Structures are given as structure tokens and as C-alpha cells.
């Protein structure tokens, strides 16, 4: 797949027409105006810590460029999306029409990002996604103007299916919040676990962002399955891991998950998280120059340790730096901007990443084990894992 020629021509001709009508040298006005970035992130609720890393990482990348993109000053407008999908289209529209932002950046929650995707497509506004893994964003709803620097929900979950089977587990229970990220994550685990010969015997869904897990933990105890796979993140992940340990289940049924379960949460989870196996495209301790540099800079700037969510945000900033650098800050040069972004290879703190034709990262998935309060890399669960991008017609 590649971005269709027709789409590129459409964008080029729009840019050309605007220049001709204005009768000005290309990009005479834009050169002095600021580039406005409209940020939607959860600054409150169960994903608040993820939102904080999501803005910090972006600002860190921009600070490294003197707060400029392609030579133009950057202005950031932020909005707390509260992980509320119902308000997402109105929030994204407000940023574009009310605040006149040049591009959208966000968010954490898969349901909210789908509202942003809809508005970005309708208004042909650039959208860069620093976390939310909704399959459709780089699948059925993929578009030349939509990029993701994080993952699809499938990516970290699928490799765990084989890992679990190879550890000798044959029956599994899955549990998650009932919304896109949760269901896509457990479906991907199930896809790989059952393809290997295992069987998912029970699938438990709880409303987002509920953290009343007791009744479900009692159900899990009764199933006598070999393993439990979950997707939880942020505040909900802290609560789930502690409840699982308190219920005494750690001794009877091993718990595994997509790495969000133990990401940015270990200090709060303490002893309850020791020994947990997860799969993710990052680990704090990765011994790579880019990771050491990023973590030191993040700590210096914010007085806190970075985690995956900061990495993905930093990479989103660096993707913008490369793209706008290539077009010298010309927001009207859409075809050139998107093609430069699509070709970018980032020296990410997680290891090098490139972008698939659907604009989702191609990346290694690490197997991690919590040891002494740290996610330690114990193997590679998947090499250069590419999301299947089901339904993406871009460039077909
Ligand atoms: C999502 O909703 O896509 C999501 C949220 C938090 C995570 C991962 C994915 O940690």
C-alpha cells in the first residue's frame, strides 16, 4: 500500500490554487505566523497520568528545536478530553474552528480518538495520535492526514498469545474494560492464543472506567483456567493488579497482559506487580543511546521519570519536526508534508521505528517481567511487528 497518487495530486492542487489566488510568493504570510497545535488529552480521570506524559513528551521534543516547527514558532492550545467519547467530535471541532489550530494532536482513549479521526477526515486536518490504539485509525478509517506514533491495540496484545501458549498455558480467561482498546486487545490475544492451539474459556467485560473488580475476581477463581490475560491501564491498572494479588489469585492463576498493565504504575502497585509478564513496545531500562538521552532530558525538565506515554509523545513531536522541517513550515504543502512524515524513520527511545503505509509504527514488541519494581526486558516477543491495517484502502 502507498498513499494514492490521486490524493497527493488533490492536495498539491489545493496548495497551488491557494498560492495563485493570493498572488503572493508561496508561503509569504505563513512564514511569520505561529503554527498552532490543538492538543486533546485526558488531564483528569483514570488516564490523567497518561495525559501528563502525553503533553510533556511533545513539549520536550519541541523545546529541543527552540519551540519551532520548520522555522515557525509553535503555539499549543490544550483541552481536557476527560476520556469522554461523546464529547470528542465537538471538542475537536472547537479546536479547529474556534481556535483555528493547524493540526490536531491526541489522544489516549480509543473511543475519543475515533471522534478526532472523524473530524480530521472531514476537515482534512493533520492528526497525530500519541497513544490511542483504535484499529480503525490506521485501518478502515486510515487517511493521508492521519498518523500514529504509538501502536494499534493489536500490536502489543497479539504476541502475548504465543508467549502464553509457549509457557504451557492451554486455557485462558480474558478481562478488560468494555470499549475499543479493551476488546481489540483481548481479541488479538485470543487470535494468537487459539491459533497456537489454546482456548479462551471466559471473556469478562466491565464498563469503562469502573474499578469494582471483586465479583469478577471470584468468577476467575472458579474457572480454574491456566492463565488470565487483561488490558487495563493507568489508575485502573493499579487497582486491578492490587486487587488480583489481594484476592490471593497470584498463587493460583498467572496474570499476563499488554504492557500498559505495569506501565507508569509500578510505584503504586508495589509488591503486587512483582513477577508479572507483559508485552509492550518499550521498557524504561532499554539500553539504547536514544533512550538514555530521552530519559535524562525528561527527568531534568519535569523532575519525574518518563514512561512509554512520554516516549510516544516525544516521537510524535519529532515526527512533526521532520515533516514540517521538510516543507519549511508551509502548512499548505500537505502532500509534501505527509509524504515526508510517512518516510520518516525515528531513532525512538524504544528503538528505531518506521511507518507502515497506513501510518502506524512498525516496531519490536518486548517481553517484560517486573523485577524489583522495574519492567525488565526478558526477550523479544515480536520483531518488526506490523499492524494488519484491516480495511485500510489507502493507496490500494
Ligand atoms: C486506548 O484507549 O487506546 C488506550 C488507553 C490506554 C492505554 C492504551 C490504550 O494505556
Summarised one tens digit per residue, pLDDT across range 300-356 is 999 999 999 999 999 999 999 999 999 999 999 999 999 999 999 999 999 999 999
Would you say the CB of residue 358 lies under 6 angstroms from ligand 1? no
Helix spans in 247-288 (H) = 266-269
Would you say the CB of residue 133 lies under 6 angstroms from ligand 1? yes
Would you say the CB of residue 281 lies under 6 angstroms from ligand 1? no
Q: Do 197 and 185 fall into the same domain?
A: yes
Reading the block at residue 46, the C-alpha cell is 483514570
pLDDT above 60 (res 88): yes
Measured from the Cα of 237, ligand 1's closest atom is 10
C-alpha–C-alpha distance, residues 130 and 143, integer Å: 16
Does residue 369 lie in a domain region?
no
C-alpha–C-alpha distance, residues 29 and 17, integer Å: 15
Q: How many A from CA of 372 to the centre of ligand 1?
A: 25
Q: Do 66 and 43 fall into the same domain?
A: yes
Q: Do 136 and 179 fall into the same domain?
A: no
Q: Does an H or E element contain 63, and which? A: helix 48-63
Mean pLDDT score, 250-272:
98
Q: Do 140 and 62 fall into the same domain?
A: yes
Does residue 390 lie in a domain region?
no
pLDDT above 70 (res 240): yes
CB-based contacts of 102, cutoff 8 Å, min separation 6: 35, 36, 37, 125, 126, 331
C-alpha–C-alpha distance, residues 259 and 286, integer Å: 15
Q: How many A from CA of 222 to the centre of ligand 1?
A: 29
Would you say the CB of residue 127 lies under 6 angstroms from ligand 1? no
pLDDT at 395: 57
* Number of H-type helices and E-type strands within the chain: 12, 15
Substitution candidate for ligand 1 out of 53, 88, 132, 149 with most atoms within 8 A of CB: 132
Q: The whole model's pTM is what? A: 0.93
Q: Do 222 and 253 fall into the same domain?
A: yes
Q: Do 187 and 304 fall into the same domain?
A: no
> Which residue, judged by its Cα, is nearest atom 5 of ligand 1?
109
Q: Do 139 and 10 fall into the same domain?
A: yes
Q: How many A from CA of 105 to the centre of ligand 1?
A: 15
Give percent of the chain above pLDDT 90: 91
Does residue 316 lie in a domain region?
yes
pLDDT above 80 (res 15): no
Give residue-wise pLDDT tens across range 131-177.
999 999 999 999 999 999 999 999 999 999 999 999 999 999 999 99
Would you say the CB of residue 108 lies under 6 angstroms from ligand 1? yes
Structural domain boundaries, residue 251: 154-280
Q: Do 106 and 160 fall into the same domain?
A: no
pLDDT above 60 (res 57): yes
CATH code of the domain in which 329 resides: 3.40.50.2300
pLDDT at 394: 87
In contact, 337 and 126? CB cutoff 8 Å: yes
Does residue 374 lie in a domain region?
no
What is the number of structural domains in the chain?
Answer: 2
Would you say the CB of residue 261 lies under 6 angstroms from ligand 1? no
Amino acid at each position: 500500500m502507498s498513499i494514492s497518487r490521486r490524493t497527493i495530486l488533490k492536495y498539491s492542487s489545493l496548495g497551488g490554487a491557494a498560492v495563485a489566488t493570493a498572488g503572493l510568493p508561496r508561503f509569504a504570510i505563513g512564514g511569520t505566523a505561529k503554527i498552532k497545535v490543538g492538543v486533546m488529552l485526558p488531564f483528569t480521570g483514570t488516564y490523567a497520568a497518561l495525559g501528563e506524559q502525553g503533553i510533556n513528551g511533545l513539549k520536550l521534543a519541541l523545546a529541543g528545536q527552540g519551540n519551532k516547527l520548520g522555522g515557525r514558532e509553535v503555539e499549543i492550545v490544550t483541552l481536557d478530553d476527560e476520556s469522554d467519547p461523546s464529547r470528542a467530535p465537538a471538542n475537536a471541532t472547537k479546536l479547529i474552528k474556534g481556535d483555528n489550530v493547524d493540526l490536531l494532536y491526541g489522544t489516549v482513549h480509543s473511543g475519543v480518538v475515533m471522534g478526532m479521526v472523524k473530524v480530521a477526515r472531514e476537515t482534512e486536518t493533520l492528526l497525530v495520535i500519541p497513544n490511542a490504539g483504535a484499529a480503525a485509525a490506521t485501518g478502515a478509517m486510515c487517511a493521508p492526514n492521519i498518523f500514529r506514533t504509538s501502536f494499534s491495540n493489536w500490536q502489543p496484545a497479539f504476541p502475548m498469545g504465543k508467549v502464553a501458549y509457549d509457557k504451557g498455558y492451554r486455557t485462558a480467561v480474558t478481562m478488560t474494560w468494555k470499549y475499543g482498546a479493551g476488546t481489540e486487545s483481548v481479541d488479538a490475544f485470543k487470535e494468537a492464543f487459539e491459533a497456537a492451539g489454546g482456548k479462551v474459556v471466559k471473556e469478562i467485560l466491565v464498563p469503562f472506567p469502573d474499578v469494582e473488580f471483586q465479583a469478577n475476581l471470584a468468577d476467575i477463581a472458579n474457572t480454574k483456567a491456566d492463565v488470565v490475560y487483561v488490558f487495563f491501564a493507568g489508575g485502573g491498572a493499579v487497582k486491578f493488579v492490587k486487587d488480583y494479588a489481594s484476592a490471593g489469585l497470584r498463587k493460583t492463576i498467572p496474570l499476563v497482559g499488554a504492557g500498559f498493565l505495569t506501565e507508569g504504575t509500578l510505584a503504586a502497585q508495589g509488591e503486587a506487580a512483582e513477577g508479572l509478564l507483559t508485552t509492550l513496545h518499550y521498557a524504561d531500562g532499554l539500553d539504547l543511546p536514544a533512550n538514555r538521552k530521552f530519559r535524562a532530558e525528561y527527568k531534568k525538565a519535569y523532575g519525574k521519570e518518563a514512561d512509554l506515554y512520554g516516549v510516544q509523545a516525544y516521537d510524535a513531536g519529532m515526527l512533526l519536526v521532520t515533516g514540517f522541517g521538510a516543507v519549511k513550515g508551509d502548512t499548505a504543502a500537505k502532500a509534501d508534508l505527509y509524504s515526508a512524515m510517512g518516510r520518516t524513520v525515528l531513532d525512538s527511545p524504544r528503538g528505531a521505528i518506521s511507518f507502515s503505509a497506513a501510518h502506524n509504527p512498525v516496531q519490536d514488541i518486548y517481553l517484560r517481567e517486573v523485577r524489583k519494581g522495574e519492567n525488565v526486558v526478558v526477550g523479544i516477543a515480536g520483531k518488526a511487528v506490523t499492524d494488519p491495517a484491516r480495511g485500510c484502502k489507502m493507496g490500494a
